[in-house]
Amino acid sequence: MKRWRFQWITGIGSASALLILVGIVIWLMNKPPTHDCMNEATTTAQTFSATKIVIQPWLGRHEVFGIFMVPLRYRSGKTYSGILSVNDYKAEIHPDWDLDQPFDDVKVKPGYYLIKDYVPTRVALLFLLRGQFGDLRASCNWTVEFVKKGP
């Protein structure tokens, strides 16, 4: 009888801990961005904000990415290199790794093309743990900057 009671109490404790953990994760996922993006805009002719972002790290690898609409002149990886920035995360991109067709509801303007670039799932989960998931969801925090390569 005592063993059954111990297992029941242990089960209730485990279930309670799991519910608390799930509640914390849901709270962290729904936190708003840490700063307002209303007044921010693309700063230079070579910096572009994300047109659309998709953030679903719980679906696995390559499910956190941004879609950028970029002028065709930046398409050559031989002339330009690019840097993806999401808050303090930075990664090199390849401007000639573009999408062959429009993505979902993103319509490509004439003279532009689409780039799809990823943030690793582990980085997205780090944003979650630091309470910055709202910043990750804000498209103004996603930028691509192009730099002309030297001779």
Sequence ranges of the domains in the chain: 47-148
Residue 122's SS3 state is helix
Tens-digit pLDDT profile for the chain (151 aa)?
556 565 666 767 676 666 766 666 666 666 666 666 655 554 556 888 888 888 887 777 778 888 888 888 887 667 778 889 888 889 888 666 655 566 667 788 888 888 888 888 888 888 888 888 788 888 888 889 888 776 6
pTM of the model: 0.70
The neighbouring-strand residues paired with 68 are 115
Distance of alpha carbon 89 from alpha carbon 119, whole angstroms: 9
Q: Record the tokens describing residue 32, joined without a space.
A: 């708003």
